[in-house]
Structure 1
Amino acid sequence: MKLVLFDCDGTLVDSQHIIAEAMGLAFAEHGLDRPAPERTRLIIGLSLPLAIAVLIDEPLGPKAEAIADSYRRNFMAMRSRAGFFEPLFPGAADAIHTLASRDDVRLGMVTGKSRRGVAAVCRQHGFEGLFEVVRTADDCPSKPHPAMVLECCSEIGIAPAETFVVGDTRYDMEMAVAAGAAPIGVSWGYHAAEDLLRTGARCVIDGIPELFDVLAAGGVEREAAFDGA
Structure 2
Amino acid sequence: MQFKAVCFDLDGTLLDSLADLADCTNQILLKRGFPEHPLDAFRYFVGDGAKMLMTRVLPEADRNETLIEECRQDFETAYRECWDKQTVPYKDIPELLDALNNRQLKLTVLSNKPHEFTLLTVKHLLPDWEFEMVLGQREGVPRKPDPAGMLEICLQLEISADSFLYLGDTATDMKTAVAAGCFPVGVLWGFRTEEELRDNGARAIVKAPLEVLDLLI
TM-score surpassing 0.5?
yes
SS in 2 for 1:136: strand
Query: Which stretch shows the higher mean deviation, 68-77 or 3-12?
Result: 68-77
Tell me the SS of whatever aligns to 2:88.
coil
Answer yes or no: is the 8 Å Cα contact 2:108–2:134 preserved in 1. Answer: yes
Percent of aligned positions that are identical = 25
Q: Give the direction of change, closer, same or farther, for the CA distance of 1:123–1:40 in structure 2 (3 Å limit).
A: same
Distance change in 2, residues 1:214/1:49 (3 Å): same
1:118-140 per-position Cα deviation (integer Å, ceiling 9, x unaligned): 33323333436611012211263
| Pairs within 5 Å for 1:119-134 | 119-127=119-127, 130-134=130-134
Please state how far the C-alpha of 1:78 moved relative to its aligned partner.
2.1
Q: Following superposition of structure 1 onto structure 2, how do residues 8-157 of structure 1 map, counting pairs within 5 Å?
A: 8-56=10-58, 57=60, 61-79=65-83, 84-103=85-104, 105-127=105-127, 130-138=130-138, 140-157=141-158
Q: Which runs of 5+ in 1 are unaligned?
A: 217-229
1:106-163 CA-to-partner distances (Å, cap 9, x unmatched) read 2100112233323332333343661101221126322211112111111111111221
Higher relative contact order (CA 8 A, sep 6+): 2
The one-letter code of the counterpart of 1:146 is: P
The alpha-carbon deviation at position 101 of structure 1 amounts to 3.8
> Are 1:49 and 1:60, in contact at CA under 8 Å, matched by a contact in 2?
no
Q: Which structure carries more strand by proportion?
A: 2
Return structure 1 stretches of 4+ with deviation > 4 angstroms: 57-60
Count of aligned pairs: 212
CA RMSD of aligned residues (A): 2.1
**Which residues of structure 2 form unaligned runs of 5+?**
none
Amino acid at match of 2:180: A
> Equivalences for 1:200-219 in 2 at 5 Å?
200-216=201-217
- SS of equivalent to 1:41: helix
Report the Cα distance in structure 2 between the residues aligned to 1:133 and 1:173, rounded to whole angstroms: 19
Q: Bigger CA drift: 114-123 or 69-78?
A: 114-123
User: Separation in 1 of the partners of 2:10 and 2:99?
Assistant: 17
Q: Is the 8 A contact 1:26 1:67 kept in 2?
A: yes
Q: Does residue 192 of structure 1 match 2:193?
A: yes
* Residue 116 to residue 23, structure 1, CA distance change in 2 (3 Å): same
Q: C-alpha separation between the residues in 2 aligned to 1:173 and 1:79?
A: 25
Equivalences for 1:170-189 in 2 at 5 Å? Answer: 170-189=171-190
